[in-house]
Structure 1
Amino acid sequence: MASTSSTSSAFLLFSIIILFTASVPNSVSSFRFEVGEEVGWKMPNGEEPETYNEWAAQNRFQIGDTLHFKYQNDSVLVVSFADYSNCNTANPVSKFEDGSSVFRFDRSGFFYFISGQPGHCKSGQRLIVRVMHPSEIGVSSPAPAPADGADRSDYADWGPHAGVNSGIKLGVVSFYASTGILFGLIYLFI
């Protein structure tokens, strides 16, 4: 017959392990990307070093990551592919107008963003983001080609995603640090 003390310790250890494993996925992914970096979300003037889509193609986006849009006298519209392609602002899926908007990716796949200001989208203030499927995490492979029939010039070298964001690196460090803490707690109870 087991003693009450060892049963309580085993239950506590089991609870700690369950809490730890439930929290690991949240610490591994979740990076905040600054759209337009120091310039922010604004209509291009032709002097930018890269388009929004070229910037996106250099990053790897995961479920849980966020985009931070900073802007003035503008808006951010989340739209369908058709509305993105036609710069149609009439039917957004979501609309942000507060000047500092955060959009969180809740699924894998493509997300389409355009400016809500007339003429801005046609001038290049639009963005396509491809969020990796969880099975792709850690695999360095090319992104899929744009949908058939799409104007491929809008995808700006939509080739391999060479950049690895620091959120992935931070997540790996966090995972190993948490694992060390877990093993330390297990050692205390053994």
Structure 2
Amino acid sequence: MASRLCFNIGFLIVASVGLLHGAYAANTYTVGGDLGWIIPPNSSYYEEWTSQSTFQIGDSFVFNWTTGTHTATEVSTKEEYDNCTKMGIILKDAGVKVTFKDNATHYFLCSEGTHCEQGQKMVIKIGDGIPPSFAAPSLTAVAAALSALFFSTLAIFFLN
């Protein structure tokens, strides 16, 4: 009986830690911080801004600008990004919020005039930046499974 009690308590601790680990809170970032999404003061500004954080699945990015005409254009490849190719998914309104739901690398640039060539572009890596080669379970599904396991063990514990 004592060994079963120790096993159940140990299992409850492990399950609780798993539930807490799955409770990741997504963050919302204003692209460029206080500067926002404008032609930057130097060509490495947005690279430096993204290097200050590690972005995760579920994080959101708000593209804000208060002056001038800008876009947030997502291009498909690094080559398009490097060459400031201005064809892609275009977000034209300031305050647009983009949320990423998987590990990947996203390339954004401004497609107005020569803004991209002047440094208004950035790379956002979510997680390790590499898309999964299989369909990974969502954090919600994992938390639900652990929760069910937790309550099942709790019921077994009290019924014995």
Which residues in structure 2 correspond to 1:82-101 (within 5 Å)? Answer: 82-89=79-86, 91-92=87-88, 94-101=89-96
Gaps of 5+ in 2: 1-14, 130-142
Q: Report deviation, 1:98.
A: 1.3
- Residue in 1 that maps onto 2:34: 38
Separation in 1, partners of 2:21, 2:58: 13
- Residue in 2 that maps onto 1:5: none
- Residue in 2 that maps onto 1:61: 55
- Residue in 2 that maps onto 1:119: 114
* 1:35 counterpart letter in structure 2: V
Percent identity reads 25
Corresponding residue pairs, total: 118
* TM-score, structure 2 normalization: 0.62
Q: Report deviation, 1:29.
A: 3.9
Contact 1:75–1:96, Cα closer than 8 Å, also in 2: yes
- Residue in 2 that maps onto 1:105: 100
Q: Report deviation, 1:61.
A: 0.6
SS of corresponding position for 2:58: coil
Contact 1:66–1:105, Cα closer than 8 Å, also in 2: yes
Moved over 2 A (4+): none
* 1:96 counterpart letter in structure 2: L
RMSD over equivalenced CA pairs, Å: 3.3
Separation in 2, partners of 1:24, 1:96: 34
Q: Report deviation, 1:133.
A: 4.2
- Residue in 1 that maps onto 2:45: 51
Specify which of 73, 76, 80 is matched with residue 72 of structure 2.
Answer: 76
Separation in 1, partners of 2:79, 2:29: 25
Contact 1:108–1:133, Cα closer than 8 Å, also in 2: yes
Q: Report deviation, 1:24.
A: 7.2
* 1:59 counterpart letter in structure 2: S
* 2:29 counterpart letter in structure 1: F
Q: Report deviation, 1:45.
A: 3.6
SS of corresponding position for 1:55: helix
Contact 2:33–2:49, Cα closer than 8 Å, also in 1: no
Contact 1:29–1:62, Cα closer than 8 Å, also in 2: no
Q: Report deviation, 1:103.
A: 1.1
